[in-house]
Amino acid sequence: MSARPVTSGRFARVVTGSVLVLLAGLVVAASVGAEPVDVPGVLAGGGSAVERTILLELRLPRVLLAALVGGALAVAGVAFQALLRNPLAEPYLLGISGGGSFGAVLAIVALGGSAGPPLDCVRPACAGCLAALGIVYVAATRRGSLHPATLLLAGVVTNAFFLAALACVQYAATPEEAQAILRWVMGGLSGQAPGDLPLLAVVAPAGAGYLLYESRRMDVLAFGEATARSLGVDVPALRRRVFVLTSLLTAACVAVSGPIGFVGLLVPHGVRLVVGSGHRVLVPAAFLAGAAFLPAADALARVVVAPGELPVGIVTAVVGAPAFVALLLRVRVAEGGADG
């Protein structure tokens, strides 16, 4: 835990700095692409008709959706790490991504490969996410309590099951269907449906706000279950609430963008290095940092092979995998020092 006190002034400074970083990131992400756009000029009423169409109808909704997905995944990572007291935990270990991907793949095959991340896949993906959530919750609950070790194991096994089922469907699919399936499972933001942005505009900030409300209890839980109970925290109830909320946030993201990995692992740890581990500042800072990170990754995905584009899940994996290895080595060194 961070030794720095969470005063009102420090909270305001952290949030203000994070908002400035977010705004700068959104402007840069909206500016770059196969066709560069002068964002300040267009927003001020200038620019050509083509630039206004690109920015207002195509790029800005995509950038805002990326920001909401990135923010939601980042705070879900913060909550999951607090829930399991495991610095290597991240949202997709819950098995939600596997269930959502399987539901979307079934929709793609049912529609003959014509469906992708748009509306045709959202409802089946959400249904798959909720199915995975139910399986993991039932498997990890014993005598009314949610057990962290069982939760992690149940999530990993559930995810593996759904991904194996997905592979079977993909193996039997036509080439067109297999291509659509591949694009979905890599994660992407290019095919949003009309209702995606309003949905996440409500769900993501509301989820982050609730986790901020639970921040003090999550701080206490970091000191161990016995300490938390002695200070009046109902640990089983807290775990249930945080688990369900984290799962629903992840499900909403998977349903609209496919599985985009490493955001919930990479962003929280990067933010902790700057603001510390107190959840009162970590939750809003992680939400805003995730909201800046994913649009930047998506912008890179749009320009690296322009005029084509990479799925943003590839970019986050290329950045996140080395960071995960570095984090794992850091945790092992810390544990070795503690043992010594």
Residue 93 near residue 322 (C-beta atoms within 8 A): no
Query: Which pLDDT score, from 0 to 100, does residue 285 have?
Result: 95
Domain annotation covers residue 2:
no
Domain annotation covers residue 248:
yes
Residue 285 near residue 275 (C-beta atoms within 8 A): yes
If one counts every other C-beta atom within 10 angstroms of the C-beta of residue 55, the result is: 23
> Model confidence over 96-132: pLDDT tens digits?
888 888 988 888 888 765 544 444 677 788 888 888 8
Domain annotation covers residue 296:
yes
Query: What three-state secondary structure class fits 145?
Result: strand
Total domains present in the chain:
1
Task: Please count the residues of the chain.
Answer: 340
Domain annotation covers residue 3:
no
CATH value at residue 197: 1.10.3470.10
Domain annotation covers residue 282:
yes
Domain annotation covers residue 1:
no
* pLDDT (tens place) for every residue of the chain, 340 residues total: 444 667 778 888 889 999 999 999 899 999 887 777 888 888 777 778 888 888 888 889 999 999 999 999 999 999 999 988 887 788 887 788 888 889 888 888 887 655 444 446 777 888 888 888 889 888 888 877 778 888 888 988 998 999 899 989 888 888 888 888 888 888 888 766 777 888 899 999 999 999 999 999 999 988 888 888 898 899 888 988 998 888 888 888 888 888 898 899 889 988 988 898 899 999 999 999 999 999 999 999 888 877 778 889 889 988 888 877 877 777 666 656 555 5
**Structural domain that includes position 181:** 8-339
Give the span between the Cα atoms of 37 and 50, in whole angstroms: 9
Per the confidence metrics, is the pTM higher than 0.85? yes
Domain annotation covers residue 136:
yes
Give the span between the Cα atoms of 340 and 335, in whole angstroms: 9
Spell out the residues 6+ positions from residue 107 whose beta carbon is closer than 8 angstroms to its own. Answer: 115, 120, 121, 123, 124, 125
Domain annotation covers residue 250:
yes
Average pLDDT score, the chain? 84
> Model confidence over 127-181: pLDDT tens digits?
888 888 889 888 888 877 778 888 888 988 998 999 899 989 888 888 888 888 8
